[in-house]
Amino acid sequence: MKDSTTRINKNYYYLAGVLILLTAWQLLSLCYAPVMVPSPGDTLAALGFLIYSGELGQNLQITFLRQLWGLSLGISLGLISGLLAGYFTWLELLMQPLIKFLLAVPAIIFVTMAMVWFGLGTVMTTFLVSLLVFPLVHTNTAAGLKSIDPQLLEMAQVYHLPSIRKVTKIYLPGMRHYLIVGLSLAMASSVRLTIMAELLGSREGMGQRIAIARAYLETDQLFAWITVLLTILVGLEFFFIRPLKRWASQD
């Protein structure tokens, strides 16, 4: 009961924070010209136009497919390499320079490189997302495998526990928290990376529409696209990431 009440109170504070931001936005729009800061009403009208014209749905679909392809590839490679690195210490040490390099170098550098290698479009975006999602999943997967109590594995070996039972009763529960953290970071990062790649090197998609709105000073549409992006990120947080984290924290 107490946890439920606490969650409700947190939701109230979150809603209050959103209302404060909207109020501040409205006040700023009164102080500056619409070309600088469009009001929430103007942004909502621009969003309605994007929906009615079909521009939103078309570009959202393109962006979503790119993000999904890049995310799936990055997660798959990260899981495989993370499991191998967690099992073979020499492989983990061998991969450390690559992982640190991918995590340390600003994403904009990889966007530039990908544009040179693959040109503009889907291949470039998919490559970038998968490349930068990979180290997040790899690191957490390897850490999760190493966190498993060796005594449990020895006991399973003594009692000749079948491999499938080892996976479901020892490996998955032991790695669950790390896997969820890696997947959560990967999902949130993949959205931002897709938009950034499209903004700098694509002829279609949400990121490219944001770039066009900025270039032509269509600030109301720019704010509308940003609102769509924030809605996606918030929806991802509430409907995927938070439920996964709650599940991971269960005993």
pLDDT in tens, 129-165: 999 999 999 999 999 888 887 777 777 777 777 777 7
Give the count of beta carbons closer than 10 Å to the beta carbon of residue 16: 10
Please check whether residue 142 is in contact with residue 85, taking contact to mean a CB–CB distance below 8 angstroms.
Answer: yes
203 falls within a domain: yes
High-pLDDT (> 70) share of the chain, %: 93
Burial 160-192 (b: 16+ CB within 10 A, else e): eeeeeebeeebbeebbbbbbbbbbbbbbbbbbb
What's 220's domain CATH number?
1.10.3720.10
pTM comes to 0.85
- The tokens for 236 are 């991802």
- Give the helix ranges, DSSP H, for the chain: 2-31, 40-53, 55-87, 89-104, 107-118, 122-146, 150-158, 163-166, 172-201, 206-215, 219-236, 242-248
Does residue 26 fall inside a structural domain? no
**Terminal-residue alpha carbon distance, the chain:** 18
- Contact assessment for residue 140 and residue 181, using Cβ atoms and an 8 Å cutoff: yes
- Look at the chain and report how many structural domains it folds into: 1
Is 225's pLDDT higher than 90? yes
For residue 101, the model assigns a pLDDT of 93
In a domain, 47, yes or no: no
Determine contact, residues 87/141, Cβ cutoff 8 Å.
no
Give the model's confidence band at 166: pLDDT under 50 very low, under 70 low, under 90 confident, else very high: confident
170 within a domain of the structure (yes/no): yes
With respect to residue 118, please indicate whether it lies within any of the assigned structural domains: yes
| Most distant CA atoms of the chain, gap in Å | 74
Whether 13 has a pLDDT exceeding 90, the answer reads no
pLDDT at position 7 over 60: no
Look at residue 3 and tell me whether its pLDDT is greater than 70: no
Contacts of 116 (CB under 8 A, 6+ apart): none
DSSP state of 38: -
> Residue 170 pLDDT more than 90?
no
Is there a domain that residue 109 lies in? yes
DSSP three-state, residue 149: coil
Q: Which domain holds residue 88?
A: 54-248
List pLDDT tens digits, range 172-198. 777 888 888 889 889 989 999 999 999
List pLDDT tens digits, range 35-88.
888 988 899 999 999 999 989 999 999 999 999 999 999 999 999 999 999 888
**Is residue 54 classed as helix, strand or coil in its secondary structure?**
coil
Say which residues have a Cβ less than 8 Å from residue 28's Cβ, sequence separation at least 6: 37
Asked if residue 117 belongs to a domain, the reply is: yes
Specify if 193 maps to a domain: yes
Residue 49: predicted pLDDT? 92
The per-residue b/e assignment along 136-153, b for 16 or more CB within 10 angstroms, e otherwise, is bbbbbbbbbbbebeeebe
pLDDT of residue 5: 53
